[in-house]
Amino acid sequence: MIKLDAALANSRTVFIDSAVIIYYAEIHPKYADITQAIFSRIKNQTLQATTSPITLAECLVVPQRNQDFIAI
């Protein structure tokens, strides 16, 4: 994750958009490594994240449509 390390070298807080959350939740084959690395840093408290109510709403569209109450 050298590119991620370089990109976040001077960052303590990042904004997480819906795509990052969705790719992480779905374990997207192309983005799984980078989203896992980002969320691991958040979990380990080496990186703080923020998002918006709009992002959270966007993440609920498909689960709501599919009536996936566990995901919601």
Query: Given the DSSP bridges, would you call strands 13-15 and 48-50 parallel, antiparallel or unpaired?
Result: parallel
Question: For each of the chain's 72 residues, which pLDDT tens digit applies?
Answer: 678 888 888 899 999 999 999 999 999 999 999 999 999 999 999 999 999 999 999 999 999 999 998 887
Give me the phi and psi of 27, to 5 degrees please: 50, 55
CA dihedral (57, 14, 37, 34) positive or negative: positive
Q: Where do the structural domains in the chain lie, given as residue ranges?
A: 2-65
pTM over 0.85: no
